[in-house]
């Protein structure tokens, strides 16, 4: 991961990354709200239920940033011999939220309620776009974890994957409590 595109955290971290990341999170919240959607799972976006509020969209978006950041930070503390700063973990994972913006930016232009009426070629392009953004999002989050916690190798990959799997499994429950 030598490229700054796949690992921007070699050049930005800490408070600066956190400030940019909070702007990215706020932008994603605004885009989701305007499109009538919500991040209702760790890696899933769906329609905002009738009566859904802006605060619910915001709480879920912030939770899906903070929860992985704190879980990965805990793994890093347990695995690393280095002194780990929480501001670096929070900042880099917040900055990685930039990749959520292109994933949700298309939602105001897509009738999500009638997605099956979209021509197949457009649906395929949309799926490929979302998949590419998701892959880079996960790569950035792994890089955020590896750089911020000074970890690497098989143990770091296993810890990262385990956290991602746990988040995917339990995030739906969290969303159902808040929506």
Give the residue from 155, 160, 28 showing the smallest Cα distance to 89. 160
How far apart are alpha carbons 179 and 177 in whole angstroms?
6
Instruction: Kindly give the confidence (pLDDT) of every residue in the chain, 179 residues in length, as a single tens digit, with 9 standing for 90 and above.
Output: 456 666 787 778 889 999 999 999 999 999 999 989 999 888 888 889 988 899 999 999 999 999 999 999 999 999 999 999 999 999 999 999 999 999 999 887 777 667 778 888 888 998 899 999 999 999 999 999 999 999 999 999 999 999 999 999 998 888 888 87
Strand partners, 46: 38
E strand or H helix at 46: strand 44-47
- Specify whether the CB–CB gap between 154 and 79 falls below 8 A: no
């Amino acid at each position: 991961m030598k490229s700054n595109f796949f690992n921007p955290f070699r050049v930005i971290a800490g408070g600066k990354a956190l400030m940019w990341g909070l702007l990215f999170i706020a932008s994603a919240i605004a885009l989701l709200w305007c499109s009538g959607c919500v991040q209702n799972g760790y890696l899933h976006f769906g329609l905002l239920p009738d009566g859904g509020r802006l605060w619910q969209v915001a709480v879920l978006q912030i939770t899906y940033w903070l929860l992985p950041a704190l879980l990965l930070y805990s793994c890093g503390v347990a695995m690393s011999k280095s002194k780990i700063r929480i501001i670096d973990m929070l900042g880099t994972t917040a900055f990685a939220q930039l990749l959520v913006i292109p994933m949700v930016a298309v939602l105001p232009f897509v009738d999500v309620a009638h997605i099956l009426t979209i021509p197949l070629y457009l649906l395929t392009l949309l799926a490929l776009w979302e998949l590419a953004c998701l892959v880079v999002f996960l790569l950035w989050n792994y890089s955020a974890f590896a750089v911020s916690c000074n970890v690497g190798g098989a143990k770091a990959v296993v810890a990262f994957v385990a956290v991602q799997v746990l988040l995917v499994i339990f995030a739906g429950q969290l969303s159902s409590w808040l929506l």
